[in-house]
Amino acid sequence: MRVTEILKEFAPPQQGSELADLIYLLQNAPVSHHLLVKGLEVIKHDKMLQQKRNLQTPQVPAQQPSKPAVAPQPTAQPAQQVVAPHPEVPEEEPELLERVATSAKPKANHALISQIEKELPGCSDQTLQRLLYNIKLDSYHLMADSIVSKKISVKVKAIKSAIKLALTDLADVVSTETMVNFLKECEKGGVIDTRAMVKETSDVQQDIPLTNDAYRPIVLRLMQTGLGSAAASGKGEFGLAFAGMGASKGEHDITINGVDIEVKASHGGTDFFFKGQTGFGVEGAYGGGPKAGLSKLVDALNSVGGKFNKINETGKGGISQINNKTLNSINPYFKLLGHSNVKKLLCSVVQDNHPDHSIKAFFPAINSSVRKDGTVDYTALSTATSAVSFFYYQKHENHTGILMLNITNGTYMYQNNAKEFMRSVMTGAVSTISAIDFRTSTKGSLTFRLN
């Protein structure tokens, strides 16, 4: 379910509660001094307009008691009295509600807040609604800025803007009290028990643990907050850092209690990569990189009658990946190559894609995917290579574990070693899109999907 669907499960703010919400905000959340000054002007302006309207409304005289009928006397007709139309009443000036982001001034604000609380009763509904919207966003944004400054140290300005936008989206669907309490808890420590999320590995998705389930729609919206749509946009990371206990965001994906954790966020059914940013999958002492692996594969297939080329992207005759589909066209040539040769070929190709001497530890699992007739079982091969990809990525990026998030339904799964991850693939909790990938864009890494 997406955030809009999940929100339906929670009670929305009650209509007509503007006065109570305003007083709650003034008493429990920070508000910019400048906005309080403007707010008081708006309230006084509103009351002045109401007084003018009352004065300009014709008063209907009270009906006099009936008297005995008297014969009418001829009199001159008085001139007809003309009632002038009501003059146009100007609306409140919009600039009075302009929100200027300034730091709160507690001492000066205290007197203003007391005065505003006294003046609020009797304000028009329109003014209350406008005041509430502006003060609500101002309070939320001030609190969010403080949290980001404490817990996030990269791209701070952009992240503040992205999180403010997320909170603005939720302003009319999450109650004021719930949002203020959420932000207060985040500032004190957090509402997501991130330490519990990375305490133990699991091959079963679990709900993200929260201190209060009423915060779930807010957390989900923050999880979906990133800087753009790319895989490295930070989705999942910012939400965890902002609302997670003992969590922060620096150069690495996220740090929980001083330990670097890699975060992979996925809308259920979308893909993520185990791909390093620099020097990942390039030629080294223990392998020639994806292009070298592809060259070996094509040469071997063409030596027994194949007509493949060495284009490492999708194209005519090219092999960009070894997946379930391409394996069907390759298997007849594997059969001609023979059992022993195919095992050596696959191990060499996987080694090229992941240039590290430790990859040899996974050769037995790769060999077990080759049938006696030389053909390859895709499920067995993709399960083995998923462990290789996890191991290489973890070692290359130097992180403790990988936290996989489904940011659509708010579930997660944590893995910190290749064997556990391989078991997740075997159970179907994670699926692989390919067994071997030669594309330049992936640098030899595989594509996965959190189911």
pLDDT > 90: what percent of the chain? 40
Rounded Cα distance, 173 and 166, in Å: 12
Question: Does residue 140 register a pLDDT over 90?
Answer: yes
Residues forming a β-bridge with 322: 436
Residue spans of the domains in the chain: they are 290-450
Residue 50: CB atoms within 10 A of its CB come to: 15
Q: Work out the mean pLDDT of the chain and round it to a whole number.
A: 81
The H-or-E segment that residue 436 falls in is: strand 436-437
The 3-class secondary structure across 95-150, one letter per residue, is: HHHCCCCCCCCHHHHHHHHHHHHHHCCCCCHHHHHHHHHHHHHHHHHHHHHHHHHH
Q: What pLDDT digit, counting tens, does each position of 32-54 carry?
A: 999 999 989 999 888 888 888 77
Dihedral-angle region of residue 444 (phi above 0 means left; psi in -120 to 50 means alpha; beta otherwise): left
Could you tell me the pLDDT band of residue 377, with boundaries at 50, 70 and 90?
very high
pLDDT > 70: what percent of the chain? 78
Q: What pLDDT digit, counting tens, does each position of 402-420 carry?
A: 898 988 889 999 999 998 8
Q: What pLDDT digit, counting tens, does each position of 306-340 carry?
A: 988 876 555 556 788 898 888 999 999 999 999 99
Q: What pLDDT digit, counting tens, does each position of 222-264 carry?
A: 998 887 654 456 788 889 999 999 999 877 678 888 888 888 8
Give 124 or 444, the one with higher predicted confidence: 124
Q: Is the dihedral of CA 45, 47, 50, 54 positive or negative?
A: negative
* Strand ranges across the sheet with 206-207: 206-207, 411-415, 401-406, 259-266, 254-256, 247-248
Q: What pLDDT digit, counting tens, does each position of 282-296 carry?
A: 555 556 788 888 999
Average pLDDT for 255-279: 75
Rounded Cα distance, 272 and 432, in Å: 10
Question: Does residue 91 register a pLDDT over 50?
Answer: no
Residue 316: per-residue pLDDT: 56
Given a contact cutoff of 8 angstroms between Cβ atoms, the answer to whether 342 and 332 are in contact is no
Least confident of 32-41, 58-67, 148-157, 368-377: 58-67
Could you tell me the pLDDT band of residue 193, with boundaries at 50, 70 and 90?
very high
In degrees and rounded to multiples of 5, residue 260 shows phi and psi of -75, 125
Residue 442: per-residue pLDDT: 74
